[in-house]
Structure 1
Amino acid sequence: MSVDTAAAVAERFRELYGAGPEGVWAAPGRVNLIGEHTDYNDGFVMPFALPHTAVAAVSPRADGVLRLHSADIEGDAGGVVEFRVDELAPESDRNWTAYPSGVVWALREAGHPVTGADIHLASTVPAGAGLSSSAALEVVVALALNDLYALGLKGWQLARLCQRAENVYVGAPVGIMDQTASACCEAGHALFLDTRDLSQRQIPFDLAAEGMRLLVVDTQVKHSHSEGEYGKRRAGCEKGAALLGVDALRDVPYDELDAALDRLGDDEEVRRLVRHVVTEDQRVERVVTLLESGRTRAIGPVLTEGHASLRDDFRISCPELDLVVDTALANGALGARMTGGGFGGSAIVLAEAADVEAITKTVEEAFATAGFTTPRVFEAVSAAGARRLS
């Protein structure tokens, strides 16, 4: 997010509310390199932040009024939507405003003295693409209010509050990864996160220096986490943990997986979910080991294994995502997989820099041949996490 854009967001705030904001903040979307649907199973994930951000110009209010405006979604009353902070209630709002208002609700519920705000938002994170546009929106509002009200909360604490806002206020059963990635990632690194205790390690991740690129292929197939299939997968994982007598599937050791599956009997649906989560946690650990030992190209097959598991065991892929992966691999990619919650969204492709143009062209041609909407393809570069711009 450039200084010029931050200034434009501040100027639009002035037009809307009659005075300039007290500050401008940004929070990024994310790509998950590996570790899908492990976060709500207390497992391991490895996201990194994108240059694409949600930006918020914000000023506090003392009168209990919350006013919201989005540059991307024009609503009623000239685009400004107004709430009373003491009237905010879970699942009372089914619009985009549920994400920022949910953060205000979560902060107040936790005892923080947030008495209102004027907020103008603008985002370059593609919505519905599996790149955490909603988490970016939540985190940027939380960081702004944390600064303006001098709450003293750390990044991981803001992430927890944002997750609660999305789980309870919005009604989407998401894990903690997206919000933590947006709040805590560092440029030039991927974040190795243990979602049980939120311990973190920043793992150097500079593909360009090694002659590689990571492409994001947005299939343009939209998804929504609050719809039923995501919740069914989470409930199935919780069932599996209960049947195995563990707190979460993270507690099933990889070398004991076969015995655990035998204990689940003929419940094939739960067996598949358990198998994915346990093997995916192990894949995250393998990728960390490979990156730390300088064997970056060797992560490619691990990414591809992850896609097969998401497609066959978790069953959350779709024809467009499978086409990206199959086409990229057939044209020289080092590895590829779907990323995000599934049922649409994006895939990632690890490739040699010299092969990027050819892979992009063949993927676009494959989509055209299949009659699919033209995908959006861009390079993913590890960027900074949430921060104040002005």
Structure 2
Amino acid sequence: MLSTQKKTGQGFSHAKIILIGEHAVVYGQPAIALPLKTLKTHAKMTLRQDDQQILESSYYTGPIAEVPEFMQGIKHLVMYILTQQNKEIGFTLQVTSQLPIERGMGSSASVAVAIIRAMYDLFSLELDHQTLLKLADVAEKDTHKNPSGLDAATTSSATPIWMIRDQTIDPIPLELDAYLVICDSGIKGQTSQAIATVKEKLQATPTATKNMITAIGDLSWQARKQLAQNDVLGLGQTLNAAQKYLRQLDVSEPTLDKLIELALQNGALGAKLTGGGRGGCFICLVKDQRSAKQLSDLLLANGAIAAWIEPLKK
């Protein structure tokens, strides 16, 4: 029997980008990620009079038991929480998100975080951050097989974070006199494939691959210092170096490479993919807002399908 008098619960989250450390973070190296609060996800769970359990979203509307394969993480998460809390209810779960899927912006994690918050709100339960991340991992394992936890940590965070898997998730200050242009390449990212590719490389050429992963981790440490010292030019060089390793790990993609090169030829101080790769989004570091707007317009005119400008000095 339901113990709460509430009929509706709501939860919110937002997008994220990885500044540096993709893929290496899966293997114990540090990464830096930034929340993008302008792109939001909203989940609303409303009790029903009957016992139907309905999911409403832009990708699927119908019984949650019959969700398509790529949404199995949502089904698993919802049923896990209901079982954990011993709830047998009918509900309508509405999920709306401004985040493009499969673009390395944490779409699946953002949805999971919003759903968890909505369910805990409905049941009037306290939700600490550690519990939130553990529950998000239930869905993320279905979606990404071996998630680092970085997406869930950042889509639920109000501040930039520094993460070393299974060790630390720390907020870090961000006062850089620069802007990021975040662009959607128009190619759906293939995170699971990219993760599998890195794993295969580790098996085939373990020493060389481990060295590249360690080098990306070293660049994350370097970037953290550059953020603290307002070293914009140095950070640009660090982002470029990270992209070279990501290409060598075979997680970039020709369209990404072309757009990144175009950005570097037109004012970007540094540019790299962000997220799982094999498509998705890329980021460009620029010195000021005017440069950001000019570069954004250029990239949109040359194949990017969306762009967002984020100041790095809050």
**Given the two structures, how large is their TM-score scaled by the length of structure 1?**
0.70
- CA–CA distance in structure 2, aligned partners of residues 286 and 364 of structure 1: 31
Identity %: 20
- CA–CA distance in structure 2, aligned partners of residues 140 and 316 of structure 1: 29
In the TM superposition, what is the alpha-carbon distance from 1:65 to its structure 2 partner?
4.8
In the TM superposition, what is the alpha-carbon distance from 1:129 to its structure 2 partner?
1.5
Name the residue aligned to 2:245.
309
Paired residues of 2:175 and 2:228 also in contact (CA < 8 A): no
- CA–CA distance in structure 2, aligned partners of residues 114 and 234 of structure 1: 39
Name the residue aligned to 1:182.
155
Could you say which structure has the higher strand fraction? Answer: 2
Name the residue aligned to 1:234.
199
Name the residue aligned to 2:266.
331
Pairwise mapping of residues 277-288 of structure 1 onto structure 2 (< 5 A)? 277-288=213-224
In the TM superposition, what is the alpha-carbon distance from 1:112 to its structure 2 partner?
3.6
Q: Which has the larger radius of gyration?
A: 1
Name the residue aligned to 2:3.
none
Paired residues of 2:116 and 2:132 also in contact (CA < 8 A): yes
- CA–CA distance in structure 2, aligned partners of residues 202 and 323 of structure 1: 33
Paired residues of 1:192 and 1:202 also in contact (CA < 8 A): yes
Pairwise mapping of residues 297-376 of structure 1 onto structure 2 (< 5 A)? 297-312=233-248, 314-353=249-288, 354-365=290-301, 367=302, 373-376=303-306
Name the residue aligned to 1:219.
185
Pairwise mapping of residues 54-133 of structure 1 onto structure 2 (< 5 A)? 54-60=41-47, 65-70=52-57, 72-73=58-59, 75=60, 79-83=61-65, 94-95=68-69, 97-107=71-81, 111-116=84-89, 117-133=91-107
1:196–1:383 distance in 2 versus 1, CA, 3 Å: farther
Indicate whether 1:195 and 2:165 are aligned: yes
In the TM superposition, what is the alpha-carbon distance from 1:284 to its structure 2 partner?
1.2
Paired residues of 2:271 and 2:282 also in contact (CA < 8 A): yes
In the TM superposition, what is the alpha-carbon distance from 1:334 to its structure 2 partner?
1.4
1:162–1:359 distance in 2 versus 1, CA, 3 Å: same
In the TM superposition, what is the alpha-carbon distance from 1:215 to its structure 2 partner?
0.5
User: SS of the residue aligned with 2:13?
Assistant: strand
Cα shift readout 1:10-31 (whole Å, capped 9, x = no counterpart): xxxxxxxxxx962332111101
Structure 2 unaligned regions, length at least 5: 1-5
- CA–CA distance in structure 2, aligned partners of residues 296 and 65 of structure 1: 54
One-letter identity of the residue aligned with 1:225: T
Indicate whether 1:47 and 2:33 are aligned: yes
1:33–1:80 distance in 2 versus 1, CA, 3 Å: same
Cα shift readout 1:188-227 (whole Å, capped 9, x = no counterpart): x421122222x232222244xx2x210011101012334x
User: SS of the residue aligned with 1:204?
Assistant: coil
Q: Pick from 284, 288, 307 the counterpart of residue 377 of structure 1.
A: 307
- CA–CA distance in structure 1, aligned partners of residues 214 and 67 of structure 2: 36
- CA–CA distance in structure 1, aligned partners of residues 311 and 212 of structure 2: 27
Name the residue aligned to 1:29.
15
In the TM superposition, what is the alpha-carbon distance from 1:346 to its structure 2 partner?
0.8
Question: Which shows bigger deviation, 97-106 or 273-282?
Answer: 97-106
**Aligned residue pair count:** 306
Structure 1 unaligned regions, length at least 5: 1-19, 84-91, 240-266, 368-372, 385-390
RMSD over aligned Cα atoms: 2.8
Cα shift readout 1:113-163 (whole Å, capped 9, x = no counterpart): 343442111110011211111111111101222233344342233222222
Paired residues of 1:104 and 1:114 also in contact (CA < 8 A): no
One-letter identity of the residue aligned with 1:377: A
1:332–1:375 distance in 2 versus 1, CA, 3 Å: same
1:153–1:41 distance in 2 versus 1, CA, 3 Å: farther
In the TM superposition, what is the alpha-carbon distance from 1:34 to its structure 2 partner?
0.9
- CA–CA distance in structure 1, aligned partners of residues 200 and 46 of structure 2: 40
User: SS of the residue aligned with 2:279?
Assistant: coil
- CA–CA distance in structure 1, aligned partners of residues 53 and 27 of structure 2: 35
